[in-house]
């Protein structure tokens, strides 16, 4: 394929673009990708937001070129689009005014074809590991009857609670229970699990339990929890797996606070200290997580006298005490806000 693209580029750059578009969408079809992946591919290839509206299925999906979901909105008549040829008003589009370029036309054609494949696959009987059905189940904008049908096709239990899990690919292999019902949503893995979630080596957020009909809510909860996880490293300490059930009021903080966390003075102070002292953030995280200095020292594998000296140095640098309840609460909140800032707006990804 690379050799073919090189030859086409020398002969006709437009032909090269067409082959790239075709190859990209063909790969998605072969991978049994869901609607989210197809619309995201169109947005990336066209370098502008892309959308899908299917009135009959109550689907309205918009994705920006960075792969994040956009709020549902009406399509402007100035934007190039292509019907899905079902006679029901369903169509896909690219969000920029003016006539479609040849590359835009190819992207729209392949996007429409890919969407038709997914809709047909999820309408009929489907293999139980179909990622598109998982995506449909997590999407609160999808028709309730379609989601109920998808749950049946996947073989989800009706008498046992299920949960959604959001995880970051590449950290570690997914255990089999997360492979069974899973898909890729933007930069994340999305999985549906039954009770008894296995011990996870991947970095993940686990949503609240409920029926298959509650999975969109569980997915949103999983994203909220994932935003509060840490990588478990010196620069990004913190728990790698969190359950939404255990967050309490921190869930509200994760849901409502976005990029503003970067401008909080206590967060900025943590960033300055991290640049000066490589061990600072892991030490502060241990001090915030453990009730006593000795327990924190054990977690860090250092002598408690060494930790006591470091704690004094860090308290001086931060400008507030770390051995009082108020100081510990302030430190804990600052570390949480820093995680929210570094994890970004994960709620912008995925269905729901």
Instruction: For residues 141-156, give the mean pLDDT.
Output: 86
- Average pLDDT over the chain reads 84
pTM: 0.69
Which uninterrupted H or E stretch holds 146?
helix 144-154
Q: Where in the chain is the domain with CATH 1.10.10?
A: 257-346
pLDDT surpassing 70 at residue 16: no
- Domain 257-346 fold is Arc Repressor Mutant, subunit A (1.10.10)
pLDDT in tens, 32-72: 888 888 999 999 999 999 999 888 777 888 999 988 888 87
Using alpha carbons only, give the angle 346, 351, 352 rounded to the nearest 5 degrees.
90
Q: Which stretch of 129-138, 214-223, 239-248, 317-326 has the lowest confidence by average pLDDT? A: 129-138
pLDDT in tens, 244-303: 999 998 988 888 776 667 778 999 999 999 999 999 999 999 999 987 889 988 988 999
pLDDT surpassing 50 at residue 4: no
Structure tokens at 288: 């915030």
pLDDT surpassing 80 at residue 321: yes
Q: Which residues of 163-190 are buried (b: 16+ CB within 10 A; e: fewer)?
A: bbbbbbeebeebbebbebbbbbbbebbb
pLDDT band at 312 (very low <50, low <70, confident <90, very high): very high
Nearest residue to 324 via CA among 280, 279, 293: 293
């Amino acid at each position: 394929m690379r050799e073919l693209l090189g030859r086409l580029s020398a002969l006709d750059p437009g032909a090269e673009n067409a082959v790239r578009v075709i190859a990209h969408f063909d790969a998605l079809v072969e991978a049994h990708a869901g609607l989210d992946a197809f619309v995201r591919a169109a947005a990336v290839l066209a370098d502008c937001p892309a959308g899908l509206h299917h009135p009959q299925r109550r689907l309205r999906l918009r994705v920006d070129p960075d792969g994040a979901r956009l709020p549902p909105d009406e399509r402007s008549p100035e934007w190039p689009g292509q019907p899905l040829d079902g006679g029901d008003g369903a169509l896909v589009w690219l969000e920029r005014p003016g006539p479609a370029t040849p590359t835009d036309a190819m992207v729209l054609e392949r996007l429409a074809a890919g969407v038709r494949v997914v809709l047909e696959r999820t309408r009929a009987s489907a293999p139980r590991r179909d990622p598109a059905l998982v995506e449909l189940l997590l999407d609160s904008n999808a028709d309730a009857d379609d989601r109920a049908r998808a749950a049946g096709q996947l073989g989800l239990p009706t008498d046992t609670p299920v949960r959604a899990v959001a995880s970051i690919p590449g950290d570690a292999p997914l255990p089999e229970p997360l492979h069974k019902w899973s898909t890729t949503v933007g930069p994340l893995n999305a999985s549906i699990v039954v009770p008894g979630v296995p011990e996870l080596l991947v970095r993940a957020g686990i949503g609240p339990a409920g029926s298959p009909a509650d999975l969109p809510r569980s997915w949103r909860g999983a994203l909220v929890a994932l935003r509060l996880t840490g990588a478990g490293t010196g620069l990004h300490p913190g728990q790698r797996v969190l359950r939404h059930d255990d967050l309490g009021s921190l869930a509200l903080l994760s849901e409502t606070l976005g990029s503003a966390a970067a401008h909080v003075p206590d967060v900025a102070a943590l960033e300055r200290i991290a640049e000066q002292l490589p061990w600072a953030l892991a030490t502060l995280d241990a001090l915030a997580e453990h009730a006593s200095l000795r327990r924190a020292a054990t977690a860090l594998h250092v002598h408690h006298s060494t930790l006591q000296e470091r704690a004094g140095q860090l308290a001086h640098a931060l400008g507030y005490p770390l051995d009082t309840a108020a100081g510990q609460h302030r430190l804990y909140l600052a570390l949480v806000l820093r995680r929210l800032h570094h994890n970004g707006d994960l709620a912008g990804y995925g269905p729901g």
